[in-house]
């Protein structure tokens, strides 16, 4: 299953036909610029570099920088992962003693520029990202159709805030399935799926197919290409320990947690799609909803309050002013549950998946997930668009952290 087939199960919010087209035809068509928290520039124990890259995912380039600078990759801090098929700008931190070695690193399709001293950058240390995206191969009516779609979505409160396909795997849509197996403690099944799932036609697929059929670890180590570094790490660690559980726990923490996050994301997308399907408003709260506070277009997901019969008019007033937004569930052991009709939807999804929130606490400690709430609608800030002859539609906008530009474009393109 490719990501288009996977995403076809999630409903669009707007009814106007999309503009179609293609994104990421060239890396320069998809430019991402990170807006960091100002606090990363406080202190002098770390050197802050601006990392420009293309044809690299963030974790892979971090490990390559560390290798060439002769340092531990865990000593390199970064605020978030950026797409491989794009031109991206983000900040990284390195210990001050490694500054000169990092300045000397030269990697194809990578530029490093020292910008300041500061602190260690942790995941989440960013406000959001600015995007400039070209959608190619669109028709002559693309501009007018875009305007109609955006007008319709503004009337409905914004764009549906789906997690993008990158969360689940662009070529092998399996991350959420691996996460579900890990959640149930089936580390062997998770390893078999992570290592063996294959679509056909991708480099390394023949080796994956062999492992899927016979499960021979030694043969897999001979056949798996070197660029499948996390797969090879898992195989080596299993050979050393004889434990798939220990093998998974040997992966870098951001990689290890991707699988659980992907499953949480799948369940959130399922909830959002079902709410659209049942005709329940995303822009007006229902009794029992949990709403998230908004300030300056940025959601404060740790500031939530429940909608009751007493406060519902007040809450919907704050939503219309852009000071709050209706949320959906990121299932986890300490997630605040909705009640009423929204609570029924959450309960149905948990029942269908045979889940309880406590199961998220039974994971190995680094993978345990408390969960939380996530806004159902996106309101891109500074959204502008226009038609560029011989290129296509050009979009520019800012999104808070954790929100996917591809989900904005999906509603406009309607290509999956």
Please list the active-site residues. Answer: 83
What are the helix (H) ranges across 75-157? 99-103, 142-155
User: Across-strand partners of 129?
Assistant: 34, 399
Sign of CA dihedral 270, 276, 278, 282: positive
Dist CA 188 CA 205 (whole Å): 20
Cα atoms in the 13 Å half-sphere on the side-chain side of 272:
30
Dist CA 21 CA 416 (whole Å): 11
Dist CA 116 CA 108 (whole Å): 24
Structure tokens given for 364: 């190995």
Asked if residue 56 lies in contact with residue 104, where contact means CB atoms within 8 angstroms, the answer is no
Dist CA 164 CA 403 (whole Å): 8
Measured from the Cβ of residue 226, the count of other Cβ atoms closer than 10 Å reads 6
User: Which helix H or strand E contains 409, and what residues bound it?
Assistant: helix 405-413
Dist CA 223 CA 187 (whole Å): 22
Residue labelled with tokens 């491989």 = 84
Dist CA 106 CA 68 (whole Å): 8
Helix, strand, or coil here: 132? strand
Measured from the Cβ of residue 75, the count of other Cβ atoms closer than 10 Å reads 16
Dist CA 376 CA 283 (whole Å): 8
Asked if residue 142 lies in contact with residue 393, where contact means CB atoms within 8 angstroms, the answer is yes
Dist CA 144 CA 19 (whole Å): 9
Asked if residue 289 lies in contact with residue 281, where contact means CB atoms within 8 angstroms, the answer is no
Secondary structure tally for the chain: helices H, strands E: 14, 14
Dist CA 125 CA 43 (whole Å): 15
């Amino acid at each position: 299953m490719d990501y288009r087939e996977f995403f076809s199960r999630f409903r669009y919010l707007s009814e106007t036909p999309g503009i179609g087209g293609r994104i990421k035809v060239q890396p320069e068509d998809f430019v991402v610029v990170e807006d960091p928290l100002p606090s990363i520039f406080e202190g002098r124990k770390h050197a802050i570099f601006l990392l420009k890259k293309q044809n690299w995912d963030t974790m892979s380039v971090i490990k390559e920088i560390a290798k060439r600078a002769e340092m531990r990759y865990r000593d390199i801090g970064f605020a978030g992962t950026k797409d491989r098929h794009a031109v991206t700008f983000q900040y990284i931190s390195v210990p001050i003693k490694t500054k000169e070695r990092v300045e000397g690193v030269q990697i194809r399709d990578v530029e490093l520029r020292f910008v300041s001293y500061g602190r260690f950058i942790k995941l989440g240390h960013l406000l959001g990202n600015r995007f400039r995206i070209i959608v190619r191969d669109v028709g002559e009516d693309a501009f007018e159709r875009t305007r109609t779609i955006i007008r319709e979505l503004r009337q409905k409160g914004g764009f549906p805030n789906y997690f993008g396909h990158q969360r689940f795997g662009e070529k092998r849509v399996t991350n959420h399935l691996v996460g579900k197996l890990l959640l149930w403690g089936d580390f062997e099944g998770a390893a078999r799926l992570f290592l063996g799932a294959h679509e056909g036609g991708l480099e390394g697929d023949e080796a994956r197919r062999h492992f899927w059929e016979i499960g021979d670890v030694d043969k897999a180590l001979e056949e798996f290409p070197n660029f499948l570094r996390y797969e090879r790490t898992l195989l080596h660690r299993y050979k050393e320990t004889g434990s798939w559980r220990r093998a998974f726990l040997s992966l870098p923490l951001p990689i290890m947690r991707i699988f659980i996050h992907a499953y949480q994301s799948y369940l959130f997308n399922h909830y959002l799609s079902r709410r659209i399907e049942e005709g329940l408003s995303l822009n007006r709260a229902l009794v029992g909803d949990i709403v998230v506070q908004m300030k300056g277009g940025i959601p404060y997901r740790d500031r939530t309050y429940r909608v009751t019969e007493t406060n519902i008019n007040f809450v919907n007033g704050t939503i219309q002013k852009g000071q709050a937004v209706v949320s959906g569930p990121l299932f986890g052991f300490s997630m605040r549950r909705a009640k009423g009709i929204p609570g029924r939807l959450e309960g149905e999804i948990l029942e269908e998946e045979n889940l309880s929130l406590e199961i998220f606490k039974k994971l190995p400690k680094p993978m345990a997930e408390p969960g939380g709430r996530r806004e159902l609608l996106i309101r891109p800030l500074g959204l502008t668009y226009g038609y560029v002859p011989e290129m296509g539609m050009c979009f520019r906008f800012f999104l808070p952290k954790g929100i996917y530009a591809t989900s904005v474009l999906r509603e406009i393109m309607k290509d999956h």
